[in-house]
Amino acid sequence: MTRVLIAAVPFFGHVRPLRVIAADLVERGHEVTFLTGSAFRAAVERTGARFAALPAEADLRPDQFPDRNSIPAGPARLEYDNQQLFIAPMAAQHTALQELLAEDDAAPTVLLHDTMFLGAWPVLHGAAGVRPAAVIGVGVMPLPLNSADHPPFGTGLAPDGSEEGRTRGRRLTEHAEAAERAGSHRLLAAALTRLGSTEPPPLLSRGLVGVPDRFLQLSIESMDYPRSDAPPRLRYVGALPPDTGDAVELPDWWDEVTSASRLIVVSQGTIANDDLSRLIEPTLRALADLDALVVVTTGRDVVPAGLPANARVAEFIPFDAMLPHVDVLVSNGGYGGVQQALRHGVPMVLAGDTEDKIEVGAKAAWAGAAVNLGTGDPDEADIRKAVESILDDPLLRDRARRLQAEYEAHDPCSAIAAAVEQAGRSC
C-alpha cells in the first residue's frame, strides 16, 4: 500500500479526471487523500478517498472573477488565469499540503496533482517543509509546454516545418516568454521567495511539465505536436475511462438515439454554457433540415430557443453511453470531451475560444480528426459545411478510428498506478 496525496485546483475539468484516478487507486488498496475545493467533497468521498478542503484563499470559483470575460481569449486571458487562478492561490495550497504531509512524517507520500496545481513548487524550489517522496503531474489539459519546434502554447497555431514557419514560431515564443517574464513569472518568483524558496523557478510554460518528477499526460502522442526537446519525464498514458459518478437516467427518447441512421451531438461544455447562442442555437438552426437526429446536451437546466423537429435536448447524457452511436460531435472543444470522443473514434467540429480550447481545436485538426472553426461564435453556414464535410468525406472518420486504436493501446489507470507504486517502493 502506498500513501497517496492527490491535489487539484477547484475547477470541474481539473477535479473530474483526478477523481477517476482516486477511485482506481482506492480500489487497488492505496491510502488516498484528495485535496481540492469544498464543492467537491461529496464527489471525492464517493471514491472512497479521504477528502481534505483547500483553504478559503485557494478555494476559488469562476464567478469570483467577473472581469475575466472582458479579457480577449488567447494569450492575454491565459496570462490572467496564470496570475489570478493559479499563482495567487499557491501559498495557501502550500500550507494545506504541508499540513497533510506532516501528519505522519514516517510515512512517505507520493503527490499526484493536476497540471496547474502549484502548491508543491515552494518545497521543490528550496523552501522549508516536508518534501513528497515523489511528485507526479497529471496532464488534464493540452500540454502547456513551449518548444523550439512549434509556436507557443495559447496561440492556437500548429507547427510549420518550413524555415519561414520555424523562424516565425521562434519569434512568437520569444515574444510570449518575454511577456511571461514581465508578468506571471515575476509574480511567481516573488511568491516563492516570500515562502522561503531559494532556487529560481522556471517559466510556467516550461516548468509545469518540467518541475514534477514525472508528468503523465492524459492523451496520446498523435494528439500532440512532436517536440525534439520534450523532457524525458513526459509520458502519454491515454485517456481515462469516464467518471461514472452517480447513475443518470437516460431520456425517454433514448431509443431514437440507438436507432438513428445518423446522429449529431452538440455540446457547449460544463463551464462555457451560459450563453447557448454562441454554439448550440446556431448549430440547431444550421442542421434543422438535415436528415439526422440532433441531440443537444446543455450542461444545465435550460432549453435552447427555437428547437427544430429533428432535435432532442437533455441536460446531461453520459458520453460513454452516447458516443458509440454518434457520427459527428459538434463541441466547444473541452479537453476531456475531445479525448472521450476520440476514444470512441468520433470525428468532430470544434468551435471554442475560452480557457485552453483554442489549443484543443488546433491540435485535433492537426491530428486530422476534426474540423476546427477557430472561433467560439461560428456562422451557421460554416457549421453546416463542416458537419457535411465529415458526413461526406471518409478521411476524417478513418483518421478518428486510427486514433481510437491508439487510445485503445493504452491503459491509463494501470500506468498511473504503476508510477505511484514504483515511486512508493523507491522511498
| Whole-number pLDDT of residue 68 | 87
What pLDDT band is residue 244 in, cutting at 50, 70 and 90? low
Per-residue pLDDT of 31-72, as tens digits, reads 999 999 999 999 999 999 999 999 999 999 878 888 888 888
pTM of the model as a whole: 0.94
Which of 67-71, 146-150, 165-169 shows the lowest mean pLDDT across its residues?
67-71
The dihedral region occupied by 74, where left means phi > 0, alpha psi between -120 and 50, and beta the remainder, is: left
| DSSP-assigned letter for residue 82 | I
Residue range 241-269: average pLDDT? Answer: 87
C-alpha–C-alpha distance, residues 117 and 72, integer Å? 24
Which of 96-105, 180-189, 242-251, 322-331 shows the lowest mean pLDDT across its residues?
242-251
CA 364 to chain centre: 14
The C-alpha torsion from 313 through 314 and 316 to 317, rounded to 10°, is -80
C-alpha–C-alpha distance, residues 299 and 220, integer Å? 27
Question: What type of residue sits at position 279?
Answer: L
Per-residue pLDDT of 373-382, as tens digits, reads 999 999 999 9
